[in-house]
Each structure stands twice: as structure tokens, then as C-alpha cells.
Structure 1
Amino acid sequence: MASEEELFASVDALLEAEPLLPPPAERARLREMAGITQARLATALKTTTQSVKNWENGRSEPKEPRLSAYQRLLTGWAARFPRHGPPPPAPVPTTPLPTVQQPPIPEAPAAPEATEAAPGAPVKTPTVQVTRGQEQERPARPAATSRRPAAKRAAKPVGTDPRFPHGPLAVLDGDGSAYGVDGIVLDCPATTIPDLVEWTLRQSGLGAAKLNRYGKDSDPLIVLTAAAAVKLGLPERLEGHEQRRSLRLPVDHPVVKQVAKAKWQLTQRGFGPWARIYRKAQGRERQCVQLAILSWDALDERSWPGVTDMDPADIARVLGVYATRVITPRGSTAVSGLELMTALRPPTKAVQDPQSGNWVSGYNPGSLGTEPVDPAPPEATAEHPVVVNSGWSGGFLDEEAYQWVRDVDHLTGQEAALPWAVGLDLNTAFLAAAARLTVGLSAPDHFHHPQFNPKIPGSWLVDLSHIELDPRLPSPFTPTGERPTGPAWYQTHTVAYAQELGYNVQPIEAYLRRETGAYLDPWHDRLKTAYVDTLADLGVTRDLSDAEFLAAMERHKQVDPAMAAVLAAIKATVKGGVGKLRERPQGKSYKQGETWPALQRPTWRPDIRAAVISKARVNMHRKLNNMVKLTGLYPLAVLSDCVVYPSSGQSPLDFLPYAESGKPQPGGFRLGPTPGLAKLEGVQPMMWAVDLMEQGLNPARHIKGGSHDAVLDEGE
């Protein structure tokens, strides 16, 4: 008789087979019912219109990764536009789902999408609730509550996955209302943390499907308001700790004891602002719930501006949009950025053992695998065991973002006479740098006097001090913009740019990786789409003229504060995720040479972080150089992705290069809403900028009227 493992392996093999698509004619019907043109579908799937035509007339079939994406789209359309009559009724769940509160539906002809209900969701009929092990008949809650005005629209369907009819998360208030996405409100009877975990896993219908066929579903997230935390036995706030990330309940706290008594476990981080409560998986069913406690500063104001002060329904909307477009939060935006990399590039997949024929877990090509790899000594940090144990003294990579101010001695009188200093900010510059970025996937190999190859990712010891560039521009080889003074370690992109500028490079030494791949491509694609879609929700779309774009950006935060918060979180996810690739040790008790928890992750990869920053800095310098050729303008200062130019007017339109046709000149800075394009950062009088420069301060840091953070978060 086959074992349980063998049966699951066989089922996995079926699941991992290529997805089946409907017949070509049905594909065309579904697209037309959705009102989508072949050209628009081609753009979404990043292919050609002719390819879509071929798929719909049966001449060819899509290949991965478009195959899975196309099948997912068609499945969603099929649920919305069945061929004959209404869709079949959803199956009755074996575990009763909670009551769903909804505002009254206005008496008007319903649009087709308004008639659809979330799969398996008992919207109007009474349901059986399980409260602390005791079953009782419980009627549906009133359609409107004092906390949610009846004038709000009816809840729309959350998703098509029948396992998670109520979306990825809910915000629990003190009255037992759990606010989900799309206006759903669930009735949560839990009065203890173990009750809440059981309700979430057995009855809530919360969770999210995996982002990759080889990945794992996202665990449901419950966000606790201060009132909910107190009701469940938690303190409203935790005091006595110097750092927010150190907050956690003591091991003898009654709630921690309750969790242990109910045979649930906490991770090594304990019960803090982001607490994970789990049991060992049963078969293939994960048993894990993520909690976020708002009054314990789970949502950092820098990443989630204004969200903690919103009402629960709006918090659920913000986090729900983020979860749908990015990933269900599992901690800070930095943590979520790193988790997204792994979710999109899972380390393993099912492979067939050639000897036994059994399906086993194997390496997923293109991923970082399951085991961490030691960095090359110059890629590590000074406290890393590789450095301390080897006695390394050969220097380190210094691939960081720009922090450069032009020497006032190189400021011309003509420039100083201009009335304004105008700051341009590149949209998610690090995300733009991650596009089509080849990085190392394996451990580094050591070479002496290698020939430089711009296609091989790694670290090169090269002397670039002989290269003399215009002092009115920052050096592309150092984050300070100063000319190198001798041999130093550089990432491949920095050395390749020296070669691009026409200089001969002769590496002395190198640490290179044989296995390479575009590891960050799906991460880039998902975050780019999230960024562009969220800006569009705020009225900033790709079809705007440059003047219209500047006007839309000036007011976009006032259009919808909730979506503006989502946009801020997406940007923080990019910067924090890249920074997290080189997380430093934390805590006063740490001693050099000791390992720290982050080193146990395959995603502790300072070389990948260096590759992203190197490419971003090179991209910035290339644009600065092209601006000189196109306009004769030199920057006053650069800070990370922000550059300040002298200008005759208060708008970028006064100095950016345009052709006679009115179109932007290629190569320089261009305005627009996509990653890598620019927006206005701020405007100040020219004398204000000169005064800061004379003090050695950076105008780019302050031109917006506040501080401009150029540091990649390597903590949390």
C-alpha cells in the first residue's frame, strides 16, 4: 500500500503539470466579455498582439511564465462570465464561516459584478458559530453598525479562491468586528488569543494563495486595535524597551502561558508587535496565524503614514490593497520586501528521483536555494565571521547611494545668478535598477588577475584612481562622488561603467559567481505593477502630459490618503527589501565575529544589495552625464535618487531637454509615473542652496522641506 508521502508526491506531480487552457474560441469569448482588447492583454502579459491572436486561433500556445499567468486570468474570467446561465452555487463549507456584515444594497438595477457573492460566504442567512468549543445558533449581525455608516457601498467579491473567500486579512476591533477587504465585516467571538487563532484558521475564511506555483499560501493576518488587544488580555502598550523592534511580552505573561497551554508555539522573536503563532503542519495544511498589534507600533509611521490613526475599515483597506498587490504583511515593510523575493522565487520544487521514481523536494532553478552561502570577504561587513576569522584586511565594497555636494569653488557666477534650485527625484530608483539585473546565485570563487567580463556578477579589485572626470559631476565610482585614491573593490556594474566611459580596466583580484540569474525580475515586475497601479488610483496615469503629470503629483496625496499610504508602503518595501539583503547585527551584547540570526537566511546576500545600488548609482551618473551633453547643466548636489539643478524657473519643464516636437530627449531625466522616471522633489531659492553648500550640507536632503532618507534600512 502506498504511503501518505508517496500519495502526496503523486498529487503534487499532477498539480505541477502544465496548466490546461480552455479551447481557443473560449479564450477569445472570455476576453471579449471582459471588454479587453488583444493589444491590452498582450501588454499585461508582456508579449505581442500577434501572439495573443495566435493563442486565440489555435496556432500556438503560451509558454511559462506566461502560461500560468494566462490560465489564472482565464479562470478568473470564466468565474465571472460563465457560458450558460449563472455560475453554480458555491459548495457548503465543512466548517461554518462567520457572519458577514454588509451595508444595505440600494434599490437600483444591480451591475453584473454587484450580484456576485464571495465564494462560500453566507451573506444573509444565519450561520453556526463556534465559540470556545461550544456550538450555538447565532443570527446574522445587523446590516449596518454605528461604526460603519449605512451609506457605504455593498461589499464586492474578494477573490475567486474558495479557500479564502474573505481575503488575506482582517482588522479586529474591541466589539468583535473583524474588518476585511472590500467592506466585509466578520463577527469574531474570540475572547482569548488561542480562541482567536482557532477562529482565524477554522472559521474566518482568511488567507491568500501562493504567488508562485512552487511556493506556499500566505498565512492569514489579524491586526489588533488597542481595544481588541486589551479585550484579549494584552497590554495596550509595552513600555521599558529602548527600541521598538525589541518589544515583546515576558515569557511569564498570562497570554504567553495561554498560548503554550493550548499547544500553540511562538517563533524565537516571541510575542511582539508582529507575532507568529503556529503548530506543526498537519500533512500539507499549514497552521499559522500572523498577528499585528497596532498600539505596539506594528505599523511604522515612516512606512505607513497616518494608517494607525485610521478607523479599522480604512486600515483594512490599506493593508488589503497592499496584500493584494504586494504580499500579506509579515512584519515591517523591509521584512515584507524580503519575504516577497522568496515568495516569488521559492527555493525548492518537487522533482522526481531518477532512481526510485519518487517525487522529492529539489532545488528550484533561479532561486537562492535553502542554504545560506558565505560572502566573499570584501563583500561582508567588518564584524562578519568570514572577516574576523580570516583576519581579512584587504578592504571592502563601498557600493552605496550617492551623498555628494558640488564644491562651491566649481560653481559659476552664471549658475549662482539663477533664481531657483529645483530638485528631481527618481521614482523607486532601486526598483528600476533591479530590472533585468543578473546576480550571482552560488558561492563566490576567488581569481587573481582575471580578465574583466561585464556579464559576470561579482566583486573586482581595480585601480580607477587614474580616471579624471569633470569636478562639476560626482565620480561614478564612489558614493561620496570623490575621485578614488587607489585600488578598491567594486561591483561589476561600476567597473563596466568605467569601461563604457572609454577607460581600460585591469582587475588585480576578483570574487566571481559561476551560477547567475535574474533573481529579482519577478520581484521587480510585481512591485512595479503595484507602484504604477497605486499611482493611477491617485490620478497619476501614464497618459498625462508632463505638465499634467506635475499637477497630478502635487495633489495626489490629498486625493485618497489611504491609497497614498499604500504608495508609501510600496516605496518602503523596495528600499527596505534591498537593505535587508545585508542586515547588520542588533543589540548591545553583540561581539565582532559572532554570527547573528540574519546570517542563517539564504537571502543574506550583500553582493546582491551591492549590485542593485551599483547599478542605480551608475544609472544616475549616466543621466547626469547626458544632461550635460543635452543642456550644458551640471547638478548642485545628489542624494541617493534625488538631484538638484539650478534653474531659471520653478518647474523641471524650465530645464529638462525636449525636442522641437515637444517630446523628451532620450538619455536625460524624464518626467513620468514609472520606476526610473522623475518627479518634482522640491523647489527653493538658489541662495538657499548656495548657503547650504558653503556649510558643506546637502541641498538634496532638505529641498523638499524635510529630510530625504538615503539610507537603506538593514535592520528590523
Structure 2
Amino acid sequence: MATEEELFASVDALLGEEPQLPPPAERARLREAAGVTQARLAVALKTSTQTVKNWENGRSEPREPRLSAYQRLLNGWAEKHPKPGTAPAAAAPQSPAVPQTFTGPAAPEAPAAVEAPSVQAVPEPERPAARPSSRRPAAKKAAKPAADPRFPHGPLAVLAGDGSAYGVDGIVLDCPARTVPELVEWTLRESGLGAPRLHKNGKDSDPLIVLTAAAAVKLGLPERLEGHEQRRSLRLPEDHPVVKQVAKAKWELTQRGFGPWARIYRKAQGNQRQCVQLAILSWDALDPRSWPGVAEMEPADVARVLGVYAQRVITPRGSTAVSGLELMTALRPPTRAVRDEETGNWVPGHNPGSLGKDPMDPAPPEATPEHPVVVHSGWTGGFLNEEAYQWVRPVDQLTDEECMLPYAVGLDLNTAFLAAAARLVVGLSEPDHFHAPAFNPKIPGSWLVDLSHIELDPRLPSPFTPTGERPTGPAWYQTHTVAYAQELGYNVQPIEAYLRRETGAYLDPWHDRLKNAYVDTLADLGVTKDLDDQQFLAAMERHKDVDPALAAVLAAIKATVKGGIGKLRERHQGKNYKDGDRWPALERPTWRPDIRAAVISKARVNMHRKLNNMAKMTGLFPLAVLSDCVVYPSPGPSPLDFLPYAASGKPQPGGFRLGPTPGLAKLEGVQEMLWAIDLMEKGYNPARHIKGGDAVLDEGE
């Protein structure tokens, strides 16, 4: 027989249980019946209006101390405002020290009295929002069918210190994890996070959990990573308790260890991947140059920014440069399933149009001086120097008329490297060596040819060198550079070449996805294709203020383009590196300096073609060029004061045109002409400083 002590202990346990709230739709009904707005309730409970909305549509549940206060309020409202057709429940005595469970109206006896589906009380339904770790099933609101039912809660979540995991579309999940291994298990088993593959032969995107500083500390991680090395190379030591926890739970870390971007995984079982990506905000996971202001945003806003990026580009896998490279592979997977003729089994086979799954050494002139191909072969034949423009016109070439113009106006080409990647044919196989080949502009490769005899207007940069100076003898060039010399009417006779027999437009799907992401995000910021040039300039002037979150997405998309192309020739990063040693990037099939050279060569040629056409149409010559930015002398402070237009008012084809799509131009900045001349006399490039920042292509982060 139970003792009095045991009975009291059992009763006390029941009294101490977490209060049980009515269904979300009933919460909303009670509040509306009491004539209280969501904003007023939020003030009373010292929370946000959005949080109250989440409580009433089932996206999240309150926790103490608000839980007991909310429960008390709902109990009071339930007594005053019972459902129509039901009798009020007997009032239970309230104790200020003990939370009470919801009594509510009496249960209906007939099906006709069953409560209406919660969808009727839920505004703007978008996706189901069950709380995976709740003690009881949360009411689900009606929603549009999920793109993939395996991932009902989107690709990622931002975890706050109180255990709230903020996802896309305003969803908030309750994460009970107290350690990193528990977080990984929750993410894979309960969260409903992830994203479907971008290509039928690819892999699903692993879920991403972004940790705020408070969440990191709660999980046993330091708030900041300290050290004297570059921030991107910092990581936890192997003897750190969290690293030991991960190993003890039989999870593994990738070679880059537990740093700002950590991948925690177990080997796949069949087709089931077991991998979670973590990003720690206070460890500078989101570089402010690529994600301006995002690290300082509230968790829900961070989730929104990263969610839009994940939807339009890819679930972030690291820096924007890393994500740009990963996007290439996701859209052109290296393998596909093929049937083995002997066994009849399905096995991985080469996916046509991809770079394959094995790394490929470049031709010696395409490599870097420290590359093993160069060091071990003793190569001394020179290298490709296909880089973006960094050119300033000599001051003594300026005419009096140009110097008297009042303004220097900078134009910037939208994602110039992305525009260059469109329909770009690159090599897919290993390079073959040829002596004295006939030049063919359709074959991608590297050509040793003498272009020093070509004479062009000295008021324009040479299209053959990044410095804009005229070549002095034979040099290695990518196909597009040599083809442009031929386009200008000059004879080219290659001395030597490294060419690839298998070719394809490898970057086309990458270009298409990023172009759509760029154009769609600009349109969301009010910069649409239907604007005339004056309206376009006005919209661009204010677009960053329309929505800072989407402006950050736009910056990340642009950084993804430049960083992804730069990563194709990522240099070694170890401080103890010795020339001739291999470095980790060389083990990637996407370490392809020849593809990077092709993109930059085409972008630089495109820039020169526009400069040349502008000179013919307007008689104007640039003051300076830096990558995708050009500065012109102008009679007025707007590009409209010097860009060429037909009598109909339409822009003249061939020159610079304003617009929101890749390859078209926007205003970069305006300064006085005397400012530009002063910089030029001091040896500085006004294109670099006309607005601020550095437009030189990064080779990887």
C-alpha cells in the first residue's frame, strides 16, 4: 500500500508538470473574444508580435516564464468566453505558485460540435509547421504542398541561446539539444531540415544550423575563436571537450576541423547521407564583405537572408567562394548511375558534360609557378596572365577638352564574370600539346603567340594584358584573347598550344541559376527590367534601403560569382608550404585554372570591345579601368550625359548600356574631374576609389 509520502510526491509531480495550452486556433479565438490585439498581448508578455503570431499558428510554443503567464491568461479568458453552445467549465482555484493546466470548455459529444480545422484561424499559410521536439503534437496549419516532403521545414535554421531554431518563412522550432552531438542527432532525426538536390544525378543538400553566440556558448563552444593566424584557418584544438564529444558519439569532422564552418558526419549508409553543416556567427562564419550586416541581425532575419540565398542559389556550405564552387558541382554532378554490362548492377559512371570525379593536372603554362607540374618538369616557358584589368591612362594623354569637363563618372558592369560565363565553351579533358598549330577560335586552350605587332589606339588599354600595356613579345593567351586579335583584323600564328579535345559549356547551368538569382533579387528591391534608364538609376540609388536583408542577399550572390571563379585557381594557404608540394585544393576536379582564365579573358575582351565601340560612337576615351569598372570624363554627373542614344531614345548597341541584367551597366560613383586627375598624377586608379572598395577578382577565400 502506498504511503502518504509517496502519494504526495506523485501529486506534487503532477502539479509541477509543464502547463498544457489549448490548440493554437483556440488561443487566437480566446484573444479575439477578449478584444485584445496580438501587439497588445505581446507587450503584456514582454515579447514580440511575431512570437505571438507563431504561438497562434502553431509554429512555436512559449517557454517559461511566459508559458505559465500565458496559461493563466488563457484560463481566465476560457472562463469568460466559452465556445458557443458549450457551458463554462467549473472555475479551478488558482494558486500563484503552481501553474494550472488548461481546463477549457467541455468536450463535445457529437461530431457536429467538433472544433473547426485550425486553418481557418491561420493567416497566410505557407508550409506545415509541426514542432518536432514538442511534448505533444502541435496543431498543423494547412499549407501549400512542400517542394519535398522529406524537408518540410526548409534548408536551414538559426539557433538562438534559448533553444529556438528560426527557419525560413518565419517558422520557429524548439531544439532541446544541450551538446553538439545532441544537436546533430536532432537536426537529422527530428528537425525536418534539408533541401533536395539541384540535379537528378546530384545529392541532397545537408541541413545547415547557424549558431548565434549565445547558442554556441550553451553548447560548450567558446564565444570567439582566438589566434594569430588568418581567421578562416582558425579551428578548435583536437583536445577541446566539444571535439572529444563529437568523436565519442562516433561522429567525424572533415579535414578542416571544427572551425567557423564545421561539417559533422558519419559515413553514408546506402543512399542515406548523415551530415550536418554548422556555421558559428561569432566566429565570423559570415564575412561582412560578402554578407554585409547579416551577422548583427536578429536570428529570424539571419534565417530569412540565408533562406532566400539557399532557395535561389544553394544552401551555404562555407564562404560565398566555397558555395560558388559547390554550386558548379551540384549542377553538374561528376557521376551518374549506369548499368554494368557484365553484372547488370547499377554503378557510378561519368556524367557527360561534367568535370568528372578525379582531379586533372593543368598544362604547365596554365599552372602556377609553385605547382608540382611546373616544379618537377623544370618548366621555364612562361605562364598565362589572363587577369582582370588594372589600367590607368597616362595623364599626359588627356586633352584640354577632357580636363575641362567637370565630372568623372564610374560605370560598373553587373556581374561581369557571370556574363562572361554564359555559353562559354571550356575544356573537359586533359590538355594535349601541339607545335605550330593553326589557330581555331572554337577550341579552348592556351596558345603561345606573338601579339606585340598589333597597334591599337594608345588612349585605350591593350586588350591582351591586364595592365593595358602593349605586349613586348610572344606570350601565352587563352583562346578568347587570341580570337579577339583575329576579330580586330590581325593575323595570328601560334607557336605552340595546349588544347583540349573534349569540350562543353560546363558553366551554363551555373550561369543560369546565378543570373536568375541576381535578377530576381534586384527585382524584389524595386529594380526591374521594365524601367527606363532614368528610372533605373533612381531605383539603384535607393535599392539597398528598400530591404536590408535582400540587399545582403544580393551582395552574397555577387560575391558567389567572383569567389566561385576565383576558387578555380585557389593557391596554397599553409605557412609551411614548399614549392612542388601538392596542396588540398589540387585534389578537387574543380581546380581548373584554365576555366578561370577563360572566364576572365572573355570578360576583359568584352570590356575592351565596349570601350572601342564607345570611342567610335562618342569620341570618348576612359580615364581608368579596374576589372568591371570604368571611369569616363563627363559633362554632367550622370551616365545619361555621355552614353550614346539613338534619335528614338534607345541606347546604341555595342557600347555601355544601363540595366539590371548581367553584363549591363550601373552607376558606380561620381566625383569631380580634378579629383580623378589628382589621383592619376599620384599613380592611383580612380576606378578603385570612385566609390570605395576593391573590385579585383579574389582567387578564393
TM-score normalised by length of structure 1: 0.80
Shift of 1:707: 2.3
Shift of 1:118: 2.5
Structure 2 partner of 1:222: 209
Equivalent of residue 100 in structure 1, options 44, 52, 59: 59
Does residue 699 in structure 1 map to residue 686 in structure 2? Answer: yes
Shift of 1:469: 0.6
What residue ranges of structure 1 are gaps of 5+ in the alignment?
1-98, 130-136, 144-153
1:375-410 per-position Cα deviation (integer Å, ceiling 9, x unaligned)? 000000000000000000000000000000001111
Equivalent of residue 195 in structure 1, options 145, 166, 182: 182
Structure 2 partner of 1:708: 694
1:641-693 per-position Cα deviation (integer Å, ceiling 9, x unaligned)? 00000000000000001001000000000000000000000000001111111
Counterpart-to-counterpart distance in 2, 1:567 and 1:695: 34
Structure 2 partner of 1:461: 448
Mapping for residues 212-611 of structure 1, pairs under 5 Å: 212-611=199-598
Counterpart-to-counterpart distance in 2, 1:406 and 1:383: 33
Q: Partner amino acid for 1:276?
A: R
Counterpart-to-counterpart distance in 2, 1:140 and 1:269: 39
Shift of 1:357: 2.4
Q: Cα gap change, 1:234/1:652 in structure 2, threshold over 3 Å: closer, same or farther?
A: same
Shift of 1:159: 3.4
Structure 1 partner of 2:658: 671
On the 8 A contact 2:133/2:190 being kept in 1, the answer is: no
On the 8 A contact 1:102/1:184 being kept in 2, the answer is: no
Task: Look up the SS of the partner of 1:100 in the other structure.
Answer: coil
On the 8 A contact 1:156/1:182 being kept in 2, the answer is: no
Does residue 612 in structure 1 map to residue 596 in structure 2? Answer: no
On the 8 A contact 2:260/2:280 being kept in 1, the answer is: yes
Q: Partner amino acid for 1:371?
A: D
1:613-662 per-position Cα deviation (integer Å, ceiling 9, x unaligned)? 00000000000000011111100000000000000000000000100100
Counterpart-to-counterpart distance in 2, 1:256 and 1:602: 30
Q: Partner amino acid for 1:656?
A: L
Task: Look up the SS of the partner of 2:296 in the other structure.
Answer: coil
Structure 1 partner of 2:7: none
1:149-172 per-position Cα deviation (integer Å, ceiling 9, x unaligned)? xxxxx9975932100000000000
Does residue 182 in structure 1 map to residue 169 in structure 2? Answer: yes
Shift of 1:567: 0.2
Structure 2 partner of 1:122: 130
On the 8 A contact 1:326/1:340 being kept in 2, the answer is: yes
Shift of 1:715: 3.1
On the 8 A contact 1:352/1:358 being kept in 2, the answer is: yes
Counterpart-to-counterpart distance in 2, 1:118 and 1:301: 31
Q: Partner amino acid for 1:707?
A: G
On the 8 A contact 2:405/2:634 being kept in 1, the answer is: yes
Q: Cα gap change, 1:111/1:573 in structure 2, threshold over 3 Å: closer, same or farther?
A: farther
Q: Cα gap change, 1:158/1:681 in structure 2, threshold over 3 Å: closer, same or farther?
A: farther
On the 8 A contact 1:155/1:184 being kept in 2, the answer is: no
Q: Cα gap change, 1:441/1:114 in structure 2, threshold over 3 Å: closer, same or farther?
A: farther
Counterpart-to-counterpart distance in 2, 1:425 and 1:181: 33
Shift of 1:709: 2.5
Structural RMSD (CA): 2.1
Q: Cα gap change, 1:289/1:422 in structure 2, threshold over 3 Å: closer, same or farther?
A: same
Shift of 1:282: 1.4
Mapping for residues 126-165 of structure 1, pairs under 5 Å: 129=134, 137-138=135-136, 159-165=146-152
Counterpart-to-counterpart distance in 2, 1:270 and 1:329: 17
Shift of 1:114: 5.4
Shift of 1:139: 7.0
On the 8 A contact 1:102/1:183 being kept in 2, the answer is: no
Task: Look up the SS of the partner of 1:395 in the other structure.
Answer: coil
On the 8 A contact 2:409/2:669 being kept in 1, the answer is: yes
1:3-47 per-position Cα deviation (integer Å, ceiling 9, x unaligned)? xxxxxxxxxxxxxxxxxxxxxxxxxxxxxxxxxxxxxxxxxxxxx
Q: Partner amino acid for 1:455?
A: K
Deviates more, 1:109-118 or 1:388-397: 109-118
Runs of 4+ more than 3 Å apart: 109-117, 137-141, 154-159
Shift of 1:113: 11
1:343-402 per-position Cα deviation (integer Å, ceiling 9, x unaligned)? 000000011222332221100000000011110000000000000000000000000000
On the 8 A contact 1:345/1:366 being kept in 2, the answer is: yes
Counterpart-to-counterpart distance in 2, 1:214 and 1:167: 21
What residue ranges of structure 2 are gaps of 5+ in the alignment?
1-57, 63-69, 71-117
Counterpart-to-counterpart distance in 2, 1:550 and 1:645: 17
Q: Partner amino acid for 2:495?
A: I
On the 8 A contact 1:425/1:679 being kept in 2, the answer is: yes
